[in-house]
Amino acid sequence: MYSELYLRLEPIGLERVAAAVRATGHEVRMLDLQIFSHADYRAELDAFRPQAVGFSVNYLANVPEVIDLAKETKRLLPDCFLMVGGHSGSFIAEELLEHGRGAIDCVVRGEGEVIAPRVLEAIGDSKLSALPGVVTPHGHGPPPTLLDDLDRFLPARDLARKRHKYFIGVLDPCASAELTRGCPWDCSFCSAWTFYGRSYRKASPEKAAEDLASIAEPNVFLVDDVAFIHPEHGFAIGQELERRRVKKQYYLETRCDVLIKNRDLFAYWKKLGLYYMFLGLEALDEEALKLHRKRVTPGENFEALEIARELGLTVAVNIIADCDWDERRFEVIREWAMTVPEIVHLTVATPYPGTEIWFTDARRLATRDYRLFDVAHAVLPTRMPLDKFYAELVKTQDILNRKHLGWGAIPKYGFPAVRALMRGQTNYVKMLWKFARVVNQNRQYADHQRPVTYEMRPPKPAVAKPDPAELFVHLPARLQKPTASGTAPG
Ligand code: B12
Ligand code: SF4
């Protein structure tokens, strides 16, 4: 639903894996199924006849689609090797193999750059099951290892076709780039830190600037989990960009306390072209922030909004709606959203595999349909009847629509919209009047009535503290077993 409306962005993780695979001499093609149809995919298989296909499953909601495509691929090309990687896929490797019923040859957990070429090399060899992060029907290797240097394997953006389809709001067209990877915080609802073992790595300022300079699009989405945690890194990249005279507009996502602490850096980036920022507010009250283990106070959240306003940035914020909410709780958010200039998103609290709440939340799932795990649907039992819950949710989300989309967008975004149109870009303008068709209480409710072919494995009984071996994809350094040279790789 998200990508039907607000944005569509290039699969930068897959592009990096593609760059690594290509560096070992393979011919690689990429097809983004956010843009292309399944018929296009079949036509590509027929024309290219690949020896291996890799699916990227960053989003749990895409699991059924990928399993069906894997089965179809195996039917059409029985000798083709099929692997699945990506964020969500990494947390449910065995489950994917089970659903695939022999169609998926292996799941690659964790970062793909180093391991994907080694997987291709090991096709047909029993050592495949012993590679780090690799899970096959015959066994699994040790935990995956982290890429030692983010400067390696810059995204193969040339493989993305129809690049003009990528945009975020008024930043149309928009490419993506990665300056840092990982997050040192540990919010209970998030799987960024469990995926990367709470590590945090930075590209060198020179390489980051070189990559940004190579981008053809005038706008860039920075995919970092939390942008600009270390101010000296942000300043150094900025200086490299100035030296190269790179002028672009940027979107980034960060935390409120990082913005407060590094205000000067954000002001500097505003001069460099920072236009649009996403702040993970998550809640307005202290109690909920503690529950999410956000490690910020409501006071800091509001202070950060003030700073962003002073800097003149367009800001989107997110609030997490709990399935336990009643009408009054939604009303509080609506009242607040009406008074602030920011774009207020509302997502539904979702225990994803890989998050701490997946292990600790004692509430039973109301559904195990992967497609509903997209933070737009309620997967936990709701206090209100489900249809009423969606009515309240959509009524609250509609404030965003009335204030920032449709005719409401023209005073603020009219000029950039015209500029995008003059470049021949229509993604943004087309989305302006689409809200009611996409975000719709009847549609959301009806989604729960669809037949379910693939069901998620239920969570194990709730525990107070999850076992790190089950929680993390990449193990944190302190939990890794020492190797002969003294420390574990990665
Ligand atoms: C950028 C981003 C987005 C972009 C998406 C851009 C795109 N086209 O993919 C936008 C803003 C659109 C977005 C939207 C959403 N996102 Co988002 N997003 C992220 C974020 C911050 C970074 C992803 C990224 O680009 N990382 C950098 C690249 C290099 O890493 P990567 O893609 O993971 O790829 C590496 C590995 O996974 C692996 N790999 C990947 N593919 C493959 C394939 C093969 C074959 C192999 C071998 C390996 C491999 O190798 C890559 C290189 O190391 C992640 C957090 C995170 N750290 O993952 C959340 C995250 C993925 N998003 C999340 C969510 C909830 C959403 C939304 C549902 C809601 C929302 N409001 O945020 C929507 C849904 C979008 C949709 N399309 O359905 C959740 C995932 C939930 C889940 N388990 O399904 C995450 C984990 C954030 C979180 N806080 O928990 N998101
Ligand atoms: S929500 Fe943001 S700050 Fe919290 S762990 Fe995830 S990426 Fe880090």
For 361-374, the pLDDT digits (tens) are 877 899 999 999 99
Per-residue pLDDT at 63: 98
Question: Which whole-number Å values give the CA distances from 24 to 121, 151, 198, in the listed order?
Answer: 10, 17, 30
Strand partners of residue 278:
253, 316
C-alpha span between 261 and 257 (Å, rounded): 6
**Ligand 2 atom closest to Cα of residue 255:** 3
* DSSP string for 82-138: EEEESHHHHHSHHHHHHHHTTS--EEE-S--TTHHHHHHHTTTSGGGGGSTTEEETT
pTM here? 0.95
Q: How far is the CA of 352 from the centre of ligand 1 (A)?
A: 13
Instruction: Kindly calculate the radius of gyration of the chain based on its CA atoms and give it in whole angstroms.
Output: 22
Q: Is 200 in the pocket of ligand 1 (CB under 6 A)?
A: no
Cβ–Cβ contacts within 10 Å for residue 217, how many? 22
Work out the pLDDT band at 234, boundaries 50, 70, 90: very high
**Ligand 2 atom closest to Cα of residue 191:** 6
pLDDT digit string, tens, across residues 96-138: 999 999 999 999 999 999 999 999 999 999 999 999 999 999 9
Q: Higher-confidence residue: 365 or 408?
A: 365
C-alpha span between 142 and 129 (Å, rounded): 9
Q: How far is the CA of 157 from the centre of ligand 1 (A)?
A: 17
Q: Show the ligand 2 pocket: residues with CB < 6 angstroms.
A: 183, 185-187, 190, 192-193, 225-226, 255, 280
Q: How far is the CA of 188 from the centre of ligand 2 (A)?
A: 9
**Ligand 2 atom closest to Cα of residue 193:** 5
For atom 39 of ligand 1, the residue with the nearest CA is: 86
Q: How far is the CA of 192 from the centre of ligand 2 (A)?
A: 6
Q: Is 3 in the pocket of ligand 1 (CB under 6 A)?
A: yes
Mean pLDDT over 267-289 rounds to 96
Ligand number, closest to the Cα atom of 258: 2
